[in-house]
Structure formats: C-alpha cells, structure tokens
Structure 1
Amino acid sequence: MGAIPADVDAEQGPPTAVPLAHFLAALGFLLAGTAVLVAGPAGRSGHLAAVHLLLAGWVCVTIMGAMTQFVPVWSGVGLHSRRLAVWQLWLAAPGFAGLAASFLTGRLALAPVAGGVAAVGVWLFAYNLGRTLAAVDEPGVTERHFAGALACFVAVALLGPVLAADLTRGVLPVAGVGHVGVLRAHATLAVFGAVLATVAGALYQLATMFTQTELGPIERRFRDAETVAYPVGVGLLALGRLLSTAALSRAGGVLVAASIAGLGLVVANRLRTTRVEPNPMLVRYGVVAAFAVTWAATALVGWWGEPLGTLYGHPTAGAPLLAGLVGFVVAGTLYHVVPFLVWVREYSDLLGLEDVPLIDDLYDGRLARVELALVLGGGALLAADGSTAVAASLPWAGRAGGALLAAGALLFATNLALVVVRHGEFSTTDLLGVGG
C-alpha cells in the first residue's frame, strides 16, 4: 500500500450504508459505556459492563466497519461478501449489548448465550475479511497487521464464551489452565492483538495519507522490524499470561512496548513534516503519538516488575494512557471516515457541476474543539482521582472528570451523527443492510 494510493476504487467496498451502520451502532455503545463508567454500579459488574460496551462495542464495532470498508478499497480487491458484512453487525452488536446487560443485571446465565452470539458475529467478520485479504497478490505492512489482528479476533471470540460459561457452569480449569489465565490471555489478545494490531496497521497508511508525506529510511527500517516484533510480542505476552509464565510475558511485553513507542514516534514525525492544515483528525493523532510514547515508557517499567498481573502496562497509569491512545485513534479516524463516506455518496457525483462542501465542512469544527477540551480535561481529572493524595484533597475530581468525559463523548457522537442526518439520505432499510 502506498502512502496515497493512486488506484483506489471505492466500488470495491460495500455500500456506504454498511460501514455507517457500524459506526452509528458504535457511537451508541460509546454513549452507553460512558454512562456506565461514570454512573454505573461500582465493583466488578460495572467494570465488566463498561469494558465490553467501550472496548467491544465502541472500538471493535468501529474496527469491523472500518476494515470492511477500507481493506477492499486500499488493497484493490473486492469484498468477499457484502451480506456477511451486514450479518456480522446484526450478531456482534446485540451480543455485546447482551453481555453488558448480563453483567449489569447480575443475570450471568445470559452471558454464555450473548457471548456465543457475539462470537459468531466476530467470526463472520474475520472469515469475510480473511477471504478478502487472501485475494491480495502482494500483502503490504497494513495487510499483514490486519491478518494478525483477525487471528486475534478469532481467538478472543473463542475465549470469551469459555469465560462466560465458566462463570455459570465452572468449565475451567482445563489442562491446568484456570479462569485467571484465560481471562488474562483474553484481555491481552483483545487489546494488544485485535485492537492495537489494527491500529498499528492503519496508522502506517493513515499517518502518511493524511499528512501527505512518505516514511523516511529510518522509519521504513523500523516498520519492517516492527511488523515481525509486534505480533511475536503479543503472542508471547498472551501465552505467558495463559500459562502464568512471567519470563514469556516479560519478553513479549518488551517487544510490544518498544513497538508501540516506535509507532508513536513515527506518527509524531509524520505530523511534524506535514503541510496539511490542522484538523480534528490530525490534532487527535498528535495526542495519540504522545499517549503511545508515554504509555510505552511506563509499560516497560510496570511489565518488567510484574508482567502477569498488570494487564495494561503500568499498574497506575497503564489503563488511562492506553484508553487515550485507542480512543483518540478511533475518534480521529471517525472524524474523517464518517464525513468521507457521506461525501462520496451524496456529493462526489456533483463535483465540477455545482458547488459542493469539502469533507471537513460536513462536521462542526467548533463542537470538535469543545469536545476535545472536555475529553482531555475529564480524562485528566479521572486519572488524577486515581491517586490517593489527589482523591483526599480533591474529592470532587472523580465526579467532575466523569461529567466532563460524558459531555465530551455526547458532543463527539452528536457531531458525527449530525453529519449523517444533515447531509446523508439514508433510509432505515439502508442502514439495516436491506436497502441498496
């Protein structure tokens, strides 16, 4: 894949309503997950519900829609099945929602059923995109990252229902592997395999495409090394946690952290050399670069000392930094992808015949700036609230941070939803995959 593909054929992808339906569903998960995170029940049930709504519902459903649209377009091959692209959402979204509901209500018997439905949807997605990637003659760095991510999606969807069944029927341990080991492997493959491998592969494409730049010689050498080191690191990290082997996890953690740090530096350097005017997408990619490098530095410290128990890097800073990294990648990308899809459908045929808006004109830039400030401010207050000293001196920090974060998420979702409402002419049957 080149930095700015000259042979992109939008007809290779599915109808624009299919990925847009994924994105709108994902925005609903974002709002629900934020509400549970801020105002939901404390303890394990609220945590599990929020994680599945935000990570599986918002992030993974967004990835499913984005990969379904852009893998065929970037790679120049036809999508294997448009019908499977519709069914994957019909199954995965209700399954993820059912999982969250089972945790929130305490009806754990629902979890294996909902998890099974979600797993089938994820497997359909992985099969559909796997068959699509198999048609690529010369896979590039992005395709190789995506292939690794799809393998992790399959594994995560296999381990999830096992964990759900163990909650109600006690099916573990098996072959000496218990619930904790499977849970750690499940979380590792989900976050660092399915999600971050997709993010890494996409950023090599997007960071060059949207900054109108090319990777330099050193960046290309790093990219070639990272393409091997990162999946090996994820595999060692997950296997070590599954088997409770600290040495394997530590080695994998070092490779993962070093890869993410290097990727953050690549993105920062692409932004440094660009001549493109700042926009919400590039601003958020700048935040991503800072989060990536900071997370990696703290993760190396945390994982070197405790590679098994600290799932997301540093025991204190790891989860917030990682959430920021992933969240801002998704948000920044959606600020381009949603308006782009609507613009292609509604305005591309009118180009040269009448005045048409630019892609960046479809959303409200002022709302985007306010939303960014709210999310950064709310996130900072929530992170500070995790400190015992801050929580004691500023007992309102957690509540205020949650309120700001929720307001920012609402503005973000509203801004993108209004793009579809104001500029798109999509029927309900279109978005359900029944229409054209």
Structure 2
Amino acid sequence: MSVVPGDIDTSRQPPMAVPLRHFVVSLGLLLLGLSLALGIAFDIVPSTAILAHIHLLLAGWICVTIMGAMTQFVPVWSGVELHSRRLSTIQLWLVAGGLLGFASSFLTGRVAFLPVFGSAMLLGFWTFVYNIVRTLRKTSGYDVTERHFLLALGFFVLLTTLGFLLALDLVYPLFAPLSVTRVSVLSAHATLAVFGAVITTILGALYQLGTMFTQTELHGIDNWLRRAEEVGYPAGVVLLASGRLFGVTLVAQVGGLLVASTLLGFSILLGRRLYETSVQWNPMLSRYAVVAPALALWSLMALPVWFENPLSYAALFGAPSSYYLLIVGFIGFVVFGTLYHVVPFIVWVNRYSDLLGLEPVPMIDDLYSDRLARIDFLLLFSATALLAASDIFGLSMAITGVGSTLLFAGVVCFVGNVLQVIRAHSPHSLLGVLAPALSPDAPERVSESKTQ
C-alpha cells in the first residue's frame, strides 16, 4: 500500500485534533456500551440497561465515529474547506454529553430527564448535518460517495426527530391520540438509524475505500450492482420505515426486499474488490473480508423474514437470529477495519508527511502493533462467530456469555492499539486531543480560532 493515496488532497483536512477527538470519544462510548453488554449477559444490571447499551453503541460509537470520519474526509475527498471547525467541536460535545445523560437516565429510571438530554443530542446531530451539508455545497458535482453521504444526512435529521419525540413521549404522551403507536414510531426510528444513517454512510465510504485500498476499479457486474443499490437501497429504506410507521405491510415488504437484495448485491461487489486485489493484506482489508460474507449471510436470512412479516418487532433488524451478523459482523468490522487506517493516516499526515524524502519515516501501517491487530482480529472474529451461532442455533446462554467476553477483550485490544498510535506518534497527548484548553498544545488552538 502507498503511504498516502495519490488522489487524496490532504491540504483540505481540518486540524488533526478535530477528527481524532471524535474517534477517542467514540472508543470510550464503545467500551461503556460493551461493559453494559457484559452486565446484561450475566444478568447483573437492570433491564433498562439494554436501551442504554443500544444507544451507547449506535448513537455513540457508530454515529460519533461517522461524525468524525465525515468531518475529516468530506473536505479531503471533495477538495473543499470544512464549513466550520468550531461547529465540529460543538457537535461532538452536544452529542456525547447528551448521550451520556440519556444512557444514565435509562439506567437510573429517571425518564423525566430524557427529553432534556435528547434535545442536546438532537441539536448536536443537526449541527453536524448543517456543517457537512454546507461543506458539500461547495462542490461542483457529487460522486457516488457524496451522494450517499447526503442521503445519510437526511436520514440523520429524520431519525433524530423521531428519537426526540420518543423521549418526549415517555414524559408527555404524544402518540396516544394519534393513529401511529409508540411501537411503530420506534420501529421507524430504528430503521432510519441503522439502515438509513449508518449503513448508507458505510456504503458510500466503501465505494471509495473498497476501490482505493484494493487498487481495483468497478467493472462489469459491479456497475450494475452499484446502479441498483443507488436507486433501490434508499428507496427501500424509506418504504420500510414508512410501512413500519403507518402499519402498511405491503409497503414494508417492498422496502424490506429492496434493502436486503441490494445489500446482497453490494456484498458481491465488495467481495469482488477483495478477490481482485493484488495489494498486500493488512488489518483494514482483513476486516473487510469478514464484512462481505457477513453481509451476504445477513441478507439471505432477512429476505424470507421480511417477506413474511416486516412489521414484526422481532424482525426489526432482519431475521431475529441475525442481529450479531449485522451489528458486529457487518457494521462493527467496517468500523474496526476503517479506523485501522483512518487514525494512523491522520496522525501520519500531520506528523511525518513533511519529513518524507528528508529522513526515514514509517509507513502508515507501521504506526500500530501488527501483533495486537492479529490478536484483536482473532478475538473479535471468534466472538462474532460464537454470538451469531448462539442466536442461529439457539445455543446456551453460557456460549453467549463467552462470546460477549471475547468481544469485550477484542475491543479492549483494538482500542488500546488505536490509542497507542495517538500516544506514541501524535504531536498531541490524549488529553490534548480531548481537551486542548488543559493541554500545552496551544499553537493549534490559536491558529484554529483565527480561521473561524
């Protein structure tokens, strides 16, 4: 792999601390969410912990990672300046602070505070959407990645609106006099979150990353699959969410079949990119190699279930036994693999790029520990296999407990490896990344303030 892909305009990226701050916070939220998962697996936390766990993983780890990645790479890929660095900082602390309060409210049973913390999250996500939309408006045309990102931003607005209404409904009943029920709104909210905002973003990013880092091009059936996905997938998400919201089975069926079939097609497209690559395998591509079959298997399991009853709450994320395939095998491994390049890439560009040709510098893949990367891959793959098999074949809770433990151990190794890149190679300490005001890294803060 080249040190920096030749078609990337790194001069457009925001200051290093901006995206890294998002990634460090998201990794902390990941550890919190998985700690609750262990508590749930061993029945040592209250039943409401499941809601805190889901929000810490999806709204926290996944969505905060997306916020940091878009803030970093939309300017880089699109060749434009980020609209506002100040807003990129504000968005993070609104979402992170609101989410921690939101999760705490579930854990303590103080639902009266949910609308308060929910409004902070809403404002944070809308700030993020506004900042990226204003950034993308500077481009002259939109490629496949940018089109997906714009769609994802629209889904972010819809899902956060429904999420805030759901939080408010727990204090002031809103849905009782309406034709829609709380369960139907919750189903639409979850659909827009996972299949709308999160997976649409992932698909857009993989069109760029899957070709760039395999050094291949879409050809033949790939182009047909891409065209089908670009039209069918977002239409499917809208139909599936709408059908669930208003309780229309046929609409949800059509939407579900479009979502599952186009994702199956995308798994083939990604698998072909990996098969055709001549690039040396690395942690990023190794994890993408898990993504393609996991997504294909999830899609094949979802098709008959969503055809039969897409309105069933048990089928919210596809086949009831395919949850871990989707959340960990697909979404999780995309994020694990991508961060294994993104974090070292950002650090390398800021620390070593100016020294290239003047003195020996490490490659991007030299910044993390290969040994630790192999260990976390083995742990995470084993955990995913155990958890998925436990669901599919109805294995004992002991197997689920072992899988959850391995998952937590793998995440700890992964987080430690990524944070070590920042600690050992970044010009800023972890404290400087998180809280510049408490760190001696003042020059960047001064220069940032002058650019606003």
Normalised by the shorter chain, which TM-score bucket? over 0.9
Paired letter, 2:320? P
Superposition deviation, residue 134 in structure 1: 1.6
Q: 1:124 & 1:303 partners in 2: Cα distance?
A: 34
8 Å Cα contact 1:294/1:321 also seen in 2: no
Q: Decide whether aligned partners of structure 1 residues 75 and 58 sit closer, same or farther in structure 2, where only a CA change above 3 A counts.
A: same
What does residue 261 of structure 2 align with? 258
Count of residues paired in the alignment: 430
Q: 1:212 & 1:174 partners in 2: Cα distance?
A: 56
RMSD: 1.7
Q: Secondary structure at the match of 2:211?
A: helix
8 Å Cα contact 1:26/1:58 also seen in 2: yes
Q: 2:143 & 2:370 partners in 1: Cα distance?
A: 34
Q: 1:228 & 1:66 partners in 2: Cα distance?
A: 24
Q: 2:170 & 2:178 partners in 1: Cα distance?
A: 18
Superposition deviation, residue 319 in structure 1: 4.6
8 Å Cα contact 1:5/1:74 also seen in 2: no
Q: Decide whether aligned partners of structure 1 residues 383 and 255 sit closer, same or farther in structure 2, where only a CA change above 3 A counts.
A: same
Superposition deviation, residue 210 in structure 1: 0.3
Residue 179 (structure 2) pairs with residue 189 (structure 1): no
8 Å Cα contact 2:344/2:421 also seen in 1: yes
Task: Give 5+ residue unaligned stretches, structure 1.
Answer: none
Q: Decide whether aligned partners of structure 1 residues 335 and 174 sit closer, same or farther in structure 2, where only a CA change above 3 A counts.
A: farther
Residue 384 (structure 2) pairs with residue 379 (structure 1): yes
Q: Secondary structure at the match of 2:82?
A: coil
What does residue 325 of structure 1 align with? 330
Paired letter, 2:86? R
8 Å Cα contact 1:112/1:164 also seen in 2: yes
Paired letter, 1:363? Y
Once the two structures are superposed, the pairs formed by residues 194-209 of structure 1 within 5 Å of their partners are 194-209=197-212
Deviates more, 1:214-223 or 1:26-35: 214-223
Paired letter, 1:35? S
Paired letter, 1:331? F
Q: 1:381 & 1:7 partners in 2: Cα distance?
A: 40
Q: Secondary structure at the match of 2:377?
A: helix
Superposition deviation, residue 42 in structure 1: 5.7
Deviates more, 1:92-101 or 1:39-48: 39-48
What does residue 341 of structure 2 align with? 336
Residue 25 (structure 2) pairs with residue 22 (structure 1): no
Residue 221 (structure 2) pairs with residue 218 (structure 1): yes
Superposition deviation, residue 183 in structure 1: 0.3
Of 227, 244, 247, 2:247 maps to 244
Paired letter, 1:413? V
Q: 1:389 & 1:135 partners in 2: Cα distance?
A: 52
Task: Give 5+ residue unaligned stretches, structure 2.
Answer: 445-452
Q: Secondary structure at the match of 1:390?
A: coil
Q: Secondary structure at the match of 1:386?
A: helix
Once the two structures are superposed, the pairs formed by residues 123-134 of structure 1 within 5 Å of their partners are 123-134=126-137
Q: 1:225 & 1:400 partners in 2: Cα distance?
A: 40
CA-to-aligned-CA distance 1:91-138 (integer Å, 9 cap, x gap): 011111111111111111121111110110000000111111122211
Q: 2:19 & 2:207 partners in 1: Cα distance?
A: 21
Q: 1:329 & 1:201 partners in 2: Cα distance?
A: 12
Q: Decide whether aligned partners of structure 1 residues 430 and 415 sit closer, same or farther in structure 2, where only a CA change above 3 A counts.
A: closer
Superposition deviation, residue 433 in structure 1: 6.0
8 Å Cα contact 2:322/2:392 also seen in 1: no
Residue 421 (structure 2) pairs with residue 419 (structure 1): yes
Paired letter, 1:415? N
Q: Secondary structure at the match of 2:119?
A: helix
Give the TM-score taking structure 1 as reference length. 0.95
What does residue 402 of structure 1 align with? 404
Q: 1:412 & 1:332 partners in 2: Cα distance?
A: 10
Give the TM-score taking structure 2 as reference length. 0.92
Of 364, 367, 378, 1:362 maps to 367
Once the two structures are superposed, the pairs formed by residues 100-179 of structure 1 within 5 Å of their partners are 100-173=103-176, 175-179=178-182
Paired letter, 2:67? M
